[in-house]
Structure 1
Amino acid sequence: MTERVVPGRADGLITVDAADALWVGLTAGGAVPTASGAFTRSPARARTGYVLLGSRVVATARVGGGRWGVAEREVRRAAAELNAVVMDRRDLVRVGPFRGAPVPVPEPEPELDEETPLRWRWRVAGELGEPGGPGCGTRHEDGRPCHLAGIDWRRLLVEHTADGTRRTWWLPRGVVRLLDAAEHAETRWLRAARTRETGTAVAEPPSRPRRAGDADGRRATSPEGPAASPRPYGKEFEGQLYSVLSRKPGIARKVAEWVCAVCGGEPAAVLDHCHEHGYVRAPVCQSCNTRERPDHLYANDVRVANRYTRLFHTDASDWLRHWHRCTGCRARTTLPLPHLAAWTAFIACRPLRPTHRAPRGREPCGTLRVSWTGSQNAPRSCLFTVTVDFCPAGEHRVLAQVPYREAAERFRGWLAETAPAVAAASGPDRLDGLPAQPRPVVVDPGGEGLGLF
C-alpha cells in the first residue's frame, strides 16, 4: 500500500505521500482525530527536515530526484503514541477569543520555550477569524483548513455563544496539552539542530530588557529636540483598588507618564494589579505585563518554563518588590496562588528534579508542571502537586506534593534570604482593611473575570 523510495538508497524510508496515507490509516481508531496531509500540507515542514506528528518530531530526509522520505517505523511509533492518548471531550479549555485581544505575536525577545513555528494558538485564532488575525492566511492554498501536528482540531472544536452574539472557542484539555507538547518538542528539536550546525549552545536571553539610552544612562534625543522622559514610579497608587482607580477619567494617559516599574527601561503602558486581592501594583510596560503571567495556565495548573528564571532568579528582587506592591500580598507575605505554585516547583522542588545526560554535561529532565487542588481560600485543603512532563526517557514522575501552608512558609523563608528589604516590609501586622477572603481562582483563565495574576 505504500510507495517506497529507491531500495538501498534509503532503506526503511517511504515517501511523504505514502506517509500521509499511513498516518491516517494507523490513527483511524484513536480518540484524537487526525488529518490527511500531515506531511504535505501546511504547517508541515517536511522540506526543512522534520514534521510534527502529535507530540513527536519525525525527521525527514532527501532521497534524490527532488523527493523526501521518512522512516516508516517513526510514523508507526508516533501513531502508537497518539492512539494511547485518553481524551475527555467534556473537559474543555478556552482557546479564544480573549477579551477582544488581537492574535498573539512573538515578543521582541521571546522566551526560548516559545520559539516554535507551530504556534498553534496563533494559527487557531487566525483561522477562526479572531479580530486582528490573518484570517484565511492560515488556510491551505486549495481552501481546506490546516491541520496541527497531524491533528484535525476542527472536529474537536466546541463553540459557545453568549447572549446570541459573543462567540468563544474551546478544545478538549487533552488536545490542548498535546499541542503544547508538540510546540515543546519542536523547540527542543530546533535548538538541537542549531547547536549541531554552529557547534555552540543557544544563548540564553538577557536577564532584563535593554534600557533605552546612551552609555552615560541619558535618554537619547531626536533631531527635533529632547524626547519627553517618563518619570520613575514611586508609591502614587499604593493601597488603591484597581476597580476604583481604573474608572477615573484620564488614567490611561497618566499611566504613560511613568517608566515601567519593573524593568525601568520602557514607558509604562498598562496598570498592573493583583487580581487575587484587587489592589494596584504599579504601571508596567507590555513586555513585563506579559512576562509576569504564568506560562500555559490551565484551570488549575501551570507549566513552569524558562521565563521563571527571570522571575525567581536573575531578576527576583525586582519582581518580588513589584508583586508585594499589592497590599494583600505584602500583608500576608505571600504570592498569588499560580505564582506561589510556580515558585514551589521552580525553587522549593529544584533539588528533586532528575537530570539526564546531554552533549555538554547533564540537563534537567523535561519540563516542570505544578497543579493544585482547592484554593487559597481554604489553605488547609489546598495541595500543590509537582510533576515532570516531556521527559526524554518517556517517564512522567511526580516529584512532590506540598500543602499550601507549607509552600507559603517556605516562600517566606526564601524571601527573607533573597530580598531582605521586601521581606522586612511584609508581615501579618498590616491586615487592617484587607478583604477577609481573597477572590477565588476562576475556572476560565482567559475570560472577562481573569482572577489569577
Structure 2
Amino acid sequence: MSERAVSGRADGLIPLADADTLWVRLTAAGPVPTASGAFSRSPACARVGYVLLGGQVVATVGTSAGEWSVREAEVRRAAAELNGVGMDRRDLVRIGPFRGVPEQERGEGAPLRWRLRIAGELREAGPRHDVGRPNHLAGIDWRQLLVEQTRDGTQRTWWLPRAVVRLLDATEHAETRWVRAARTHQTSATITQPSSHPRQASTAVTQPPSHPRRTANPEGPTPSLLPYGKELEGQLYSVLSRKPGTSRKVARWACAVCRTAPATVLDHCHEHGYVRAPVCQSCNTQERPDHLYSNDIRVASRYTRLFHTDADDWLRHWHRCPGCRARTTLPLPHLAAWTAHIACRSLRPTHRASGGRKPCGVLRVSWTGSQNAPRSCLLTVAVDFCPSGEHRVLARVPYREAAERFRAWLAETAPAVAAAAGPDRLDGLPAQFRPVVADTNGEDLELF
C-alpha cells in the first residue's frame, strides 16, 4: 500500500472522511485502540474550529461550500504521539461512578469532560450496549479498554488504564487552553481591526486561530503550567476547598508529584486535615490505597512504585502534611501498606512459577484501634487467596513498632525527607492537631 493513502490537496488539507481513514490506519498497530469517525462522528464537531485527537487539538478549516478539512501533517503527528504511549492494561484507575456528579453538557461541540461523558453513556445505555459499535473520545475507543468491577454483587465501578486516563486528562486540558487562546485571539482581532459592517465583525469573532498552540508562551494568554512550591502548605482543606475560585487556582499548577500533567484536585491528609498539594487525577488515584474500608486495606502492586522507584517523590509529597512530618510517619493506611510490602516482605510465601518463584496471593492489612491511640493500635498482615490457607496471617505488628521501622527505613531510603521531619522540626506545624477530616466523596475512603 502506498504511504500516502489519502488524496490531499496541495495545501496539505484533507477531507474529514479521509482523515478518519488515515487515523485508523496509522494507529492500527498502536497500544491504544482507536475508532473510526474521530473527525466526523459525535462528540467530534468540526464546526467549532477544532477536533480532539489523542492528546492533541487539531484545527479544522472550513470552505465556502460548507465542507471541512484538516491538515494531514497534524493527523500524522497526533497518531505518532499516540503510538508512542506506553500502556499497562493491568494498572487501572477508577473513573466512576462517583456521587454528586453534575450533568454532562450534551451535543456536539460541548467540552470533552470525558469522565462525565463516559458516566452518562454507561448510566443511560449500560456497559454492554452497542458492543459492536466503536465509541470514541478524542479518537480513542474507550469501550475496548473499560473494565467493570462489582462489589458485593451490587455496586458497579468503572476503570480505565492509567496511561489512558493521563492522556484524556491532558486532552481535556489542551482543549481548555485552545479555547481560551482562540477567544483571546478573536477579541484582539475584533479590537485592532474594527469593521464598519456588523456581519463582518461577527465573522471575525467566530474564526479561531489556525495554530493556537504555537502562539502560547509564558507571557501570552495561555501561560505554561506553574510549578508548585509551598503556596498552600499548612492550610486546612475544609477551609480552602470552600473558597470561591479555588478550582481555577488549582488548574494553573502542574501536578506536584509527576510535574507534567495539569493539576485537577487538592490532595489532603485525612488524618490531620491539611492540604498536601495540587495533583492530577491520575496521581490522586494512584496515591489512594487499592481497596480501603473502615479498617483494612488491600496492598496492590502500585505500592512497588510508590515505595521503590518513585519513593522519594511520594514520601516528600506525604510529608507535605505538617502533622505527618512532625510524627515522621505516614497516614495509617499507607503505614499499613508499607508494613506489609516492606517490613513483612520476607514473610510472604512464594510458589514455583515459570522463570522462578512468585509471591502468591494478595496482601491485606487490617488494624484495630486508631493512630490517635498508638498504644492500642495493632496491624495484622495476611495473605488472601494463598493455596496454603485462604487468609493466612503473616504477622501482627503494633503501631509503634511499625512507625519505628518506617522511620529507620525512611532515613535510609530518603534521607532528605527524613532530615526535614521529626518533632524537633516544627516549621509550619500547627499549635494543635486537628481531628480527622472525613472524605466528602465517601466511596469507602473515609480514613484516608
Normalised TM-score (structure 2): 0.54
1:433 is matched with which residue? 430
Deviates more, 1:422-431 or 1:327-336: 422-431
Sort the Cα spacing of 1:315 and 1:304 in 2 relative to 1 into closer, same or farther, 3 A: same
> Deviations 1:386-409 (Å, cap 9, x if unpaired)?
000122455431000000010011
> CA shift at 1:439, angstroms?
1.9
- Contact kept in structure 1, 2:276 and 2:320, CA below 8 Å: yes
Amino acid at match of 1:348: A
User: Distance in 1 between the 2:317 and 2:333 partners?
Assistant: 16
> Deviations 1:82-120 (Å, cap 9, x if unpaired)?
xxxxxxxxxxxxxxxxxxxxxxxxxx95662649xxx99
1:138 equivalent to 2:135? Answer: no
Q: How many residue pairs were aligned?
A: 277
1:145 is matched with which residue? none
> CA shift at 1:237, angstroms?
1.1
- Tell me which of 218, 223, 230 is aligned to 1:235: 230
Please tell me the root mean square deviation across aligned C-alpha atoms, in Å. Answer: 4.1
1:112 equivalent to 2:90? Answer: yes
User: Distance in 1 between the 2:432 and 2:88 partners?
Assistant: 37
- Contact kept in structure 1, 2:293 and 2:445, CA below 8 Å: no
User: Distance in 1 between the 2:445 and 2:380 partners?
Assistant: 23
- Contact kept in structure 2, 1:113 and 1:305, CA below 8 Å: no
- Contact kept in structure 2, 1:355 and 1:363, CA below 8 Å: yes
1:160 is matched with which residue? none
- Tell me which of 320, 325, 329 is aligned to 1:334: 329
1:298 equivalent to 2:286? Answer: no
> CA shift at 1:223, angstroms?
4.0
Flag structure 1 segments of 5+ consecutive residues without an equivalent.
1-107, 124-129, 142-170, 184-203, 213-219
1:267 equivalent to 2:262? Answer: yes
1:222 equivalent to 2:213? Answer: yes
- Contact kept in structure 1, 2:335 and 2:402, CA below 8 Å: yes
1:388 is matched with which residue? 383
- Contact kept in structure 1, 2:293 and 2:444, CA below 8 Å: no
Q: Percent identity?
A: 68
- Contact kept in structure 1, 2:350 and 2:360, CA below 8 Å: yes
- Tell me which of 308, 312, 320 is aligned to 2:307: 312
Amino acid at match of 2:321: C
User: Distance in 1 between the 2:127 and 2:243 partners?
Assistant: 44
- Contact kept in structure 2, 1:310 and 1:316, CA below 8 Å: yes
> CA shift at 1:291, angstroms?
0.7
Amino acid at match of 2:122: P
> CA shift at 1:423, angstroms?
0.3
Flag structure 2 segments of 5+ consecutive residues without an equivalent.
1-85, 99-117, 130-149, 171-210
> CA shift at 1:430, angstroms?
4.2
User: Distance in 1 between the 2:350 and 2:400 partners?
Assistant: 28
- Contact kept in structure 2, 1:345 and 1:386, CA below 8 Å: yes
- Contact kept in structure 1, 2:294 and 2:447, CA below 8 Å: no
User: Distance in 1 between the 2:410 and 2:390 partners?
Assistant: 33
> Deviations 1:237-267 (Å, cap 9, x if unpaired)?
1111112222222121111111110001111
Mapping 1:29-68, distance limit 5 Å: none
